[in-house]
Amino acid sequence: MRSYISDRKFLAFEDAPDGRVIARFDDGTTATGDLLVGADGASSTVRTQLLPHAQRAQTGIMAVSGKLGLKDQVRELTPPPIFLGPTLMLGPKGCFLFANAVEYSSTDALRPRPPVDASGYDLSSVDREEYVMWGFSARREKFALPEYRDACDLQALKTAVLTLMQEWDPGLQWIVQNTNTISTFSVKTSVPIPAWKTRNVTLLGDALHNMTPFRGMGANAALRDAATLRRALARVVRGESLLLESLAAYEQQMIQHGFQAVRMSLDNMRQVHSEGIQREFTKLIFRFMNSMPRFKQKINRNR
């Protein structure tokens, strides 16, 4: 197998005369193989052709995220809990903030790294920047921003977030005010679908079961899919199963586990953006979890 990086864009697939599958790209080239795996994310082109009825729905939540380089002043003014690990904050009016510090130990910085990995990728270009990253979210109407687009100018996004954070800790407001790398998106979620007729084109991760970010399960779900698919294909290589038979079993597991994660993520989204009595109950649950380290570890393992 040859590993390489290509800037070609996938356009569509079609059946080959010999029963295999042909992938077509925007530069006019094609690739033919026994199996095509769509691991092309939430806006999957493969899914659009394979399962045109599979949809993603708006949740009504808008997220604004940013990152701020970890200079001395940032370290001094950032609330200390953020340096202890991923930090979840439930603010007034159904607003939510996630923050985390990305740091490298001194031993990591001094440890020599190979210039390339096994596939020939240049590891010297790997980003080693240290920073605080944050993500603020609320129902879209609370931001008072144009509804016809996600992208707005930097200052408009800052102003919208800071207006909603007027009652928050000054340190958190300072982080947002001094962030110059900001993006925004409307939070969507995939709509569960039943199993389809298996063929030699399948999906993996967000390409099928895209979920909200409020449980932190998306990457893990994709890795689980990849491991399950690897085992399925290994059985085919060993002659223990036919390709479509193994793929059907893989897809059943992917659908069951993937859409379960979608539902759990939606539940978390609703909890952290709730208001009134439900909000107070959610805070009570979070405080209980935070006071019970063993309980927190169990929850994290189950994710």
List per-block mean pLDDT (blocks of 10 residues) for the chain, which spans 303 residues.
Answer: 63 97 96 97 97 97 95 94 92 94 72 52 62 96 72 81 95 95 94 97 98 94 98 97 98 98 96 84 72 58 50
Distance CA 153, CA 63 (A): 15
Residue 134 three-state SS: strand
- Side-chain half-sphere exposure of 161, counting CA atoms within 13 A: 29
278 within some domain:
no
Q: So what's the pLDDT on residue 4?
A: 45
Q: So what's the pLDDT on residue 282?
A: 74
Q: So what's the pLDDT on residue 278?
A: 75
The last residue of a domain, from among 167, 190, 213: 190
Q: So what's the pLDDT on residue 165?
A: 96
- What does the block give as tokens for 71? 């200079």
> In which element (H, E) is residue 162 found?
helix 154-164
pLDDT in tens, 145-188: 766 555 567 888 899 999 999 999 999 999 999 999 899 999 99
67 plus 131 within the same structural domain:
yes
Domain of 165: which CATH number?
A: 3.30.9.30
Domain count, the chain: 2
Q: So what's the pLDDT on residue 116?
A: 53
Distance CA 208, CA 193 (A): 9
- Provide the domain limits for residue 129: 58-109+125-190
80 plus 133 within the same structural domain:
yes
284 within some domain:
no
151 plus 246 within the same structural domain:
no
Q: So what's the pLDDT on residue 151?
A: 52
197 plus 161 within the same structural domain:
no
The last residue of a domain, from among 190, 214, 233: 190
Domain of 211: which CATH number?
A: 3.50.50.60
